[in-house]
Amino acid sequence: MKQPKPQSLFLFFTLIFTLYHATADHDNPNSRTSIVFATLGRSSYAFDIFSLPTWDPPTDADEIQLTDGYSVNFNGNFPSISSPSIFSLLPNQTLTTTPTATDPPPLLLIYVTERNGSSNIFLDVVFYHSSDRTRKRSVLDNSANLPPESSRIQVPLVGGGESHDRVSMKDRPSLVGEYLIYVSTHEDSGVGRRSWAAVYSTHLKTGLIRRLTPKGVADFSPAVSPSGLWTAVASYGEPGWDGEVEELGTDIYVFLTRDGTHRVKVIEHGGWPSWADDSALYFHRRCDDGWWSVYRAILPQNGLFSVGSVLTQRVTPPGLHAFTPAASVANKSFIAVATRRPNSEYRHVELFDVVLKQFIEVTRPVSPNAHHFNPFISPNSRRVGYHRCRGASNGRSSNNLLLENLQNPIPEISLFRIDGSFPSFSQDGGRIAYVKFPGLYVMNRNGSGMREVFSGDAFSTAWDPKRVGVVYTSVGPTFASESTEVDIISINVDDDELSYKKLTAGGENNAFPSPSPDGKWVVFRSGRSGHKNLYIMDASDGENAGLHRLTEGQWSDTMCNWSPDGDWIAFASDRDNPGSGSFALYMVHPNGTGLRKVVQSGSGGRCNHPWFSPDGKYIVFTSDYAAVSAEPISNPHHYQPYGDIFTVRSDGSEIQRLTHNSYEDGTPAWGPTFMKPVDVEWPNGGPQCSFEDCYWLNTSLSLGLEAAYLGSSSTKLQCPL
Ligand SMILES: *[C@@H]1O[C@H](CO)[C@@H](O)[C@H](O)[C@H]1NC(C)=O
Ligand SMILES: *[C@@H]1O[C@H](CO)[C@@H](O)[C@H](O)[C@H]1NC(C)=O
Ligand SMILES: *[C@@H]1O[C@H](CO)[C@@H](O)[C@H](O)[C@H]1NC(C)=O
Ligand SMILES: *[C@@H]1O[C@H](CO)[C@@H](O)[C@H](O)[C@H]1NC(C)=O
Ligand SMILES: *[C@@H]1O[C@H](CO)[C@@H](O)[C@H](O)[C@H]1NC(C)=O
Ligand SMILES: *[C@@H]1O[C@H](CO)[C@@H](O)[C@H](O)[C@H]1NC(C)=O
């Protein structure tokens, strides 16, 4: 058992359990089951890494797709080809022959890929033909009759084959000689709501891993200096993450890449560092005038770093957001940044000439209607890379995944992400109901037989355990007040002519129905008293045939789930601190006795959407227990980027993290059978690539921006240019 630091001002979430390590009842072969959950936006990302030249005004014929169009590929980096040890990672003949004498040398790329259900870091060697303007974007379309193996060599560096207990998110790779420097979340920080993100170095020849971040500390966005000597990170001091989902308010620390020693804070309040040389760092922060801006820090040449010895200066002007900078090492007169300009709905990559103080557009002329993320520059400064959705503009996704299988630490659980939300399994595990706003759908778990069974706004789904084909849902808007018109209905999805039975009538936010195992009752939450509390009603005829109040108090009890043995109802409640937004998990007997807290989340944390395992011994839920895993601005919009899926024994012990990513994972459901752990594709093509950029960058609001931001800011930052 690990103790939180007693002097911490904010003991948000003091978990009093020992952590679970891969053996327990989950391993019982008789209890092989499946969990399905939702991730906001992720199904439509279809990211690939692309590159444009930095010099000539780019045209779309110059854009090269560097990654292979499979899965989700992002957060790339060009390693230095001059590093001789890179050859030892590659098959022998790789760099000695190029397809034709006029072709440029191949590009080397390291990047994150989520293929095969896990987070991996790959190295690709990409051969391309800059001379042939007709080839356009894809280096893989093979129109020059290259044998496929000569257009790309792909080497997995970390991830993939690792054992279940090492499942983690990997992020922000750099290569230094034979070492890969990257973020991973495979070690529990030991303290609730402290991020598991930490920087590691893997010796690629031996696989030896060394942690560079001190224990108990979270580091994001590592950047290695051009000499390889120093690594800069965005990091928290005490008391750590406070629930922030926009700008993390991290400080920048520098340490020796070799072993993590000589760790020193160099910049208060900054993120996303990038080195121009061993004594110049670019980084971003949101200034008091409201604009995200890029700054430069000059560090002393003698390596005696400290906050006091570092000179910082704002580089990009107010009037637009500029963030996630990439320094250029060979030509220091420019940097690359992502921007959100007033009246532009899209995030674009631009160069900024730091001498002439002007922007040079890069991606907007080529793909105006797509978001472009997290630029990086080649060692010779001649190319800029970034990721965006593959396809012409914001293009079609070619992922097409309706159910994506994910590696997770418990081999007996088959874990799936659904392209929808609020999924639930039918009693035999053969069918899944889910919501895709607006609309409620039912399908076989292999994706066949999909049918829309309700076309309006509905949320939460549950199947009746006895009456085959009866599905409960709540109709109306989510996240609404107590008096909002939301009512519970049941639908027999096996009827050719769908009929709906309204089970509640008052319209006072009646939601999250969950039937008892004998099919006689439904527990739900209702705002009818002015507060959201739990009630139980007759399952077939609704509240008029029998209603019983289960909880009562001036707080919110919600997201209820009835245990398979009928003895318990699990739910989320903010009763510890009503109105705070903080939810803990509770259980209560259906007769109102035996109330107990299952997972504590203190004054700030969130535990939501509990769902019992089929044997009733565990609960799956979503929580911010592992805080955020990356700077939120490096991703598209997520309301709750801290959301990950966890399981806990129903006595509150054995907390186990199932998902590792920087997205918003939520609304899990637990099914009784083990689904074959393979992806299920959309029968007729998947979703378009379409998602929102971070709402809090909305520049259309720029008129009111400065005032609004000043009003909410507690720190005082100088913003002179
Ligand atoms: C590369 O060549 C060396 C000898 O020149 C050999 O020892 C090594 O196994 C080869 N590596 C690969 C990956 O083929
Ligand atoms: C990953 O998925 C691809 C595409 O389905 C497949 O070809 C490859 O064999 C898989 N790799 C592993 C290690 O499972
Ligand atoms: C460096 O980049 C600038 C663009 O910011 C360009 O004008 C200049 O020619 C480049 N310098 C060299 C030596 O290529
Ligand atoms: C999908 O599942 C349904 C129902 O179990 C079954 O009838 C159908 O054959 C399955 N389809 C495929 C392609 O496996
Ligand atoms: C309440 O229900 C639980 C199980 O559901 C049972 O063990 C307990 O005896 C009941 N208590 C009363 C007062 O009925
Ligand atoms: C931000 O902008 C997007 C697209 O322009 C819009 O859909 C969204 O509603 C806006 N959000 C807010 C909070 O203004």
CA distance 565 to 336: 58
Residues 6+ apart with CB under 8 A from 262: 254, 255, 256
Lowest-confidence pick of 150-164, 289-303, 540-554: 150-164
* Predicted pLDDT of residue 82: 62
Q: How far apart are the CA of 568 and the centre of ligand 5, in A?
A: 10
Distance CA(308)–CA(438), nearest Å, equals: 55
Q: Among 535, 482, 615, 466, which Cα is nearest to 490's?
A: 466
**CATH annotation of 401-681:** 2.120.10.30
pLDDT at 289 over 90: no
- From the alpha carbon of 116, which atom of ligand 2 is closest? 1
* CB-ligand 5 contact for 187 (6 Å cutoff): no
Single-letter amino acid, residue 625: Y
**223-259 confidence digits (pLDDT tens):** 999 999 999 999 987 788 989 999 999 999 999 999 9
Q: Which two tokens stand for residue 75?
A: 């957060």
Assigned token pair, 132: 């042939």
| Per-residue pLDDT, 19 | 33
CA gap 379, 225 in Å, rounded: 12
Nearest alpha-carbon partner for 37 in 397, 404, 400, 469: 404
Torsional sign, CA 276, 281, 286, 288: negative
Strand duo 656-657 + 644-649: pairing: antiparallel
pLDDT grade for 532, boundaries at 50, 70 and 90: very high
Higher-confidence residue of 139 and 69: namely 69
Strands 511-515 and 500-502: unpaired
Question: Residue length, the chain?
Answer: 721
Beta strand pairing call for 413-418 and 33-39 = parallel
Q: What is the pLDDT of residue 588?
A: 98
The C-alpha torsion from 227 through 230 and 234 to 236, rounded to 10°, is 180
Q: Which residues contact 709 (CB under 8 A, 6 or more apart)?
A: 286, 288, 289, 290
CA 553 to CA 574: how far, in whole Å? 10
pLDDT band at 12 (very low <50, low <70, confident <90, very high): very low
Residue type, 713: S
What are the pLDDT digits (tens) for 80-119? 866 666 767 776 555 554 455 566 778 899 999 999 999 9
CA distance 321 to 647: 39
Q: Establish how many alpha carbons lie within 13 A of residue 505's alpha carbon, considering only the half-sphere containing its beta carbon.
A: 6
When pLDDT is averaged across residues 25-35 and rounded to a whole number, the result is 71
Give 345 Cα–ligand 6 centroid separation in angstroms.
9
Delimit the domains of the chain by residue range.
401-681
pLDDT reported for residue 81 = 67
Q: What is the dihedral of CA 543, 547, 551, 555, to 10 degrees?
A: 30
Nearest CA, atom 10, ligand 1? 92
| CA of 161, closest atom in ligand 2 | 13
Provide the 10 A C-beta neighbour count for residue 711.
7
593 lines ligand 5 (CB under 6 A): yes
Question: Is the Cα torsion angle 704, 706, 711, 714 positive or negative in sign?
Answer: positive
Residue 116 alpha carbon to ligand 2 centre in Å: 6
Secondary structure element (H or E) that encloses residue 710, with its range:
helix 702-712
At residue 437, the pLDDT reads 86
CA–CA gap between residue 52 and residue 386 (Å, rounded): 9
Q: Determine the pLDDT at residue 460.
A: 96
Using an 8 Å Cβ cutoff, are 587 and 594 in contact?
yes
For strand 618-623 and strand 607-612, is the pairing parallel, antiparallel, or unpaired?
antiparallel
Q: What counts of helices (H) and strands (E) characterise the chain?
A: 2, 49
State pTM to two decimals.
0.91
Lowest mean pLDDT among 261-270, 392-401, 437-446, 603-612: 392-401
715 pLDDT higher than 80: no
- Spatial separation of the C-alpha atoms in residues 225 and 228, rounded to whole Å: 5
Q: Are the beta carbons of 211 and 185 closer than 8 angstroms?
A: no
Q: Ligand 2 center to residue 118 CA distance, Å? A: 11
Q: Which atom of ligand 3 is nearest to the CA of 334?
A: 5
160 lines ligand 2 (CB under 6 A): yes
Residue 456 has pLDDT above 80, yes or no: yes
Burial 663-692 (b: 16+ CB within 10 A, else e): bbbbbbbbbbeebebebbebeeebbebebe
Question: Max CA-CA distance within the chain?
Answer: 83
pLDDT of residue 128: 79
Q: Please name the amino acid found at residue 302.
A: N
Lowest mean pLDDT of 27-36, 343-352, 363-372, 406-415, name the range: 27-36
What confidence score (pLDDT) does residue 281 get? 97
pLDDT band of residue 2 (cuts 50, 70, 90) is very low
Indicate if ligand 4 lies below 6 Å from the C-beta of 499.
no
CA distances to 11, 135, 284, 639 from 601, in Å: 10, 55, 31, 19
- pLDDT tens digits for range 561-577: 999 999 999 999 999 99
Quote the pLDDT of residue 164: 63
Dihedral sign, CA of 340, 346, 347, 349?
negative
What tokens appear for 318 in the block?
């107010």
Tell me the sheet residues that pair with 620.
Answer: 611, 647
pLDDT at 685: 75
Candidates 598, 520, 586; CA nearest to 553 is 586
Scanning the structure block, which residue is given the tokens 């560079």? 212
Instruction: Judge residue 199's burial from the number of C-beta atoms within 10 Å of its C-beta, 0-12 exposed, 13-18 middle, 19 or more buried.
Output: buried
Q: Residue 187: phi, psi to the nearest 5?
A: -110, 125
Q: Which residue's CA is the closest to the ligand 2 atom numbered 7?
A: 116
CA–centroid distance, 698 to ligand 6, in Å, is 6
d(C-alpha 79, C-alpha 85), whole Å = 11
Please check the confidence at residue 395 and state whether its pLDDT lies above 90.
Answer: no
| pLDDT, tens digit, 9 for 90 and up, residues 166-199 | 899 999 999 998 899 999 999 999 888 999 999 9
Contact assessment for residue 288 and residue 713, using Cβ atoms and an 8 Å cutoff? yes
**More confident call, 330 vs 240:** 330
pLDDT of residue 399: 72
Under a CB-based contact definition with an 8 Å cutoff, are residues 647 and 623 in contact? no
* The pLDDT value given to residue 130: 57
Ligand nearest, relative to CA of residue 429 = 4
Query: Based on the number of CB atoms within 10 Å of its own CB, is 284 exposed (0-12), middle (13-18) or buried (19 or more)?
Result: buried
In tens, the pLDDT along 653-682 reads: 999 999 999 999 999 999 999 999 999 999
Query: Does ligand 6 come within 6 angstroms of the Cβ of 345?
Result: yes
Question: Nearest to residue 76, comparing CAs of 86, 65, 84, 85?
Answer: 65
**CA distances (Å), origin 157, targets 91, 124, 185, 192, 230:** 14, 10, 16, 30, 22
